[in-house]
């Protein structure tokens, strides 16, 4: 099919047709009519958005290839075929034949969480809800915690490219782990995401949070026993985020940069006037022999902490590997990590970046969490190093690691996501 289009756009020397200079100035063809077949469910307006060209736009072989790539990569179609016809005036009729991908998937939800141990449940995702290009994800966890979560997102809000709307709602209950009480919590958040360029984006969101501390408990504060009564803490929140993402693959990046800065402010109710600043920098540098140097710098400050659920806790496989889980806590936290990853076998299996494979890695972590108390010295940082094996299973990254923090013996760490 593509051969027909190339033939239509190739200059054919015909005896008796003007000189070469006049012939070379013939204008490029333009897009005329777009004919779509095979879309039994996906709205035509969604396909036009993915094609991304207006009638009358310049339409060369490069545009043809770009349209093909966008339709193949959007995730809505299992098969795409394009064909073209050109009339005497240089107008191109584009024929699009698609075979729709199954967008609704049900999967078991099996995760390992260092805080709550094993999480078992079920998940559902529709990546083309109602044929409108919207995404709906629903998750239900029944063990060790109980959680219900739903997230809906809509691209092309108000017909604007790069503008998206999302709604996120979650409820859960479990033992708090960090303190001896059970809790229930829920939130509802509405947000907007705007792509400024293909790599740079901003987000703005807001919503309501509620945390129900169901048990009264006592805890040592400045060497004194203090009682914390059971209560429900509610608050409004607003959040702004700026992000840059140039990674070549979001699941197993081999090069690129990912960085975000977000500012969250909570007000009203029992939590009033609390500000959180969070900066996350990640870089991936190719090394000789297909190895990758992965670097991360992370910092967070929470001003005016008013409840234990917002305290930062450091130590364990998600922060400083090899250190006891949640060994340090405070209102200020930082983390620096250097990791060399050696993929032994890594194969992309989807246009959206999922991979299957296995690799080795070695790492070093430095980090801490502490309270900024006048007259109190900053504690010595936790430092660790180690090595391990990682296995990529689509969106999972299983990590099996031996890690040592300088003040402790070697430990075994496991997580089902990459540290970053």
- Cα separation of 195 and 392, whole Å? 29
- 3-state DSSP call for residue 375? coil
List CB contacts of 249: < 8 A, sequence separation 6 or more.
348, 353, 355
- Number of separate helices (H) and strands (E) present in the chain: 4, 23
Q: Is residue 115 part of a domain?
A: no
Residue 18 has pLDDT above 80, yes or no: no
In a domain, 196, yes or no: no
Closest Cα to residue 239, out of 168, 343, 178? 168
For the chain, first and last CA: distance in Å? 43
Per DSSP, which regions of 287-405 are E strands?
Answer: 292-303, 312-314, 328-330, 332-348, 355-370, 382-394, 396-405
Residue 168 included in any domain: no
Angle at the Cα of 96 (from 27 to 59), degrees rounded to 5? 15
Inside any domain, residue 409: no
Q: Token pair for residue 321? A: 């590997």
**Neighbouring residues of 125: CB distance < 8 A, sequence distance ≥ 6:** 104, 105, 107, 135, 136, 137, 138
Q: Is 295 exposed, middle or buried (0-12, 13-18, 19+ CB in 10 A)?
A: middle
Percent of the chain at pLDDT exceeding 70: 94
The beta-carbon contacts of 202-205 under 8 Å, at least 24 apart in sequence, are 202/240, 202/241, 202/242, 202/243, 203/239, 203/240, 203/241, 203/243, 203/262, 204/238, 204/239, 204/240, 204/241, 205/166, 205/238, 205/239, 205/241
Q: Distance between alpha carbon 95 and the CA centroid of its chain, in Å?
A: 34
Q: Which domain holds residue 10?
A: 2-100
Identify the DSSP state of 247.
-
Q: Is 65 left (phi over 0), alpha (psi -120 to 50) or beta?
A: alpha
Contact 204, 239 (CB under 8 A): yes
Percent of the chain with pLDDT over 90: 70
Segment 308-315 shows an average pLDDT of 96
CATH of the domain at 10: 3.10.20.310
Residues 72, 77, 80, 85: is their CA dihedral positive or negative? negative
Pull the structure tokens for residue 51: 């094609």
Residue 112 has pLDDT above 60, yes or no: yes
* Number of domains within the chain: 1
The answer to whether residue 91 sits within a structural domain is: yes
Say if residue 379's pLDDT is above 60.
Answer: yes
b vs e for 168-192, b when ≥16 Cβ sit within 10 Å of the residue's Cβ?
bebebebbbeebebebebbbebebe
Residue 386 lies in a domain: no
pLDDT value of position 352: 76
- Per-residue pLDDT of 295-305, as tens digits, reads 999 999 999 99
Q: What is the bridge-based pairing of β-strands 355-370 and 382-394?
A: antiparallel
For residue 25, name the pLDDT band (cuts at 50, 70, 90): low
Structure tokens at 242: 């700026």
pLDDT band at 38 (very low <50, low <70, confident <90, very high): very high
Per-residue model confidence as pLDDT tens digits over 173-225: 999 999 999 999 999 999 999 999 989 999 999 999 999 999 999 998 877 89
Q: For residue 207, what are the contacts with CB-CB under 8 A and spacing of at least 6?
A: 168, 187, 188, 189, 190, 236, 237
Give residue 2's pLDDT: 46
Q: Is the dihedral of CA 305, 309, 315, 317 positive or negative?
A: negative
CA–CA distances in Å: residue 148 to residues 141, 142, 172: 6, 9, 6
Q: Identify whether the C-beta of residue 192 lies closer than 8 Å to the C-beta of residue 203.
A: yes
| Residue 17 predicted with pLDDT over 80 | no
pLDDT of residue 378: 77
DSSP H or E segment with residue 73:
helix 61-73
- Average pLDDT estimate for 39-62: 89
What pLDDT, on a 0 to 100 scale, did the predictor assign at position 220? Answer: 87
Q: What is the predicted pLDDT for the residue at 222?
A: 73
User: Is 69 among the domain residues?
Assistant: yes
> From CA 98, how far away is CA 44, in angstroms rounded?
12
């Amino acid at each position: 099919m593509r051969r027909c289009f190339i033939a239509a756009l190739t200059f054919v020397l015909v005896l008796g047709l003007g000189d070469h200079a006049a012939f070379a100035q013939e204008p490029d063809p333009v897009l005329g009519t777009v004919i779509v077949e095979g879309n039994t469910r996906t709205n035509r307006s969604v396909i036009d958005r993915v094609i991304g060209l207006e009638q009358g736009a310049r339409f060369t072989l490069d545009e043809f290839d770009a349209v093909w790539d966008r339709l193949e990569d959007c995730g809505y179609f299992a098969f795409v075929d394009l064909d073209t016809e050109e009339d005497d005036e240089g107008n191109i009729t584009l024929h699009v034949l698609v075979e729709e991908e199954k967008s609704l998937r049900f999967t078991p939800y099996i995760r390992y969480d260092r805080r709550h141990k094993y999480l078992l449940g079920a998940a559902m995702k529709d990546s083309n809800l109602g044929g409108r290009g919207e995404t709906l994800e629903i998750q239900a966890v029944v063990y060790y915690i109980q959680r219900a979560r739903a997230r809906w997102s809509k691209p092309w809000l108000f017909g604007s490219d790069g503008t998206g709307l999302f709604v996120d709602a979650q409820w859960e209950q479990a033992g708090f782990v960090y303190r001896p009480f059970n809790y229930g919590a829920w939130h509802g958040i509405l947000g907007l995401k705007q792509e400024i360029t293909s790599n740079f984006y901003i987000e703005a969101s807001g919503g309501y949070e509620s945390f129900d501390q169901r048990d009264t408990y006592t805890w040592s504060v400045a060497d004194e026993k203090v009682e914390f009564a059971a209560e429900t803490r509610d608050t409004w929140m607003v959040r702004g985020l700026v992000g840059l993402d140039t990674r070549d693959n979001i699941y197993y990046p081999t090069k690129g940069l990912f960085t975000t800065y977000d500012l969250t402010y909570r007000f009203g109710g029992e939590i009033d006037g609390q500000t959180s600043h969070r900066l996350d920098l990640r870089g991936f540098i190719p090394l000789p022999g297909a190895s990758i140097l992965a670097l991360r710098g992370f910092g967070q400050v929470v001003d005016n902490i008013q409840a234990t659920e917002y305290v930062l806790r450091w130590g364990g496989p998600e922060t400083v590997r090899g250190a006891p889980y949640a060994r340090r806590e405070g209102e200020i936290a930082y983390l620096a990590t250097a990791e060399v990853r050696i993929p032994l076998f890594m194969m992309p299996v989807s246009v959206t970046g999922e991979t299957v494979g296995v690799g080795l890695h070695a790492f070093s972590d430095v980090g801490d969490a502490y309270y900024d108390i006048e007259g109190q010295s900053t504690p010595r940082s936790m430092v660790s190093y180690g090595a391990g094996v990682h296995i990529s299973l689509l969106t999972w990254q299983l990590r099996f690691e031996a890690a040592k923090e300088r003040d402790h013996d070697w430990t075994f760490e496991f997580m089902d996501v990459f540290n970053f």
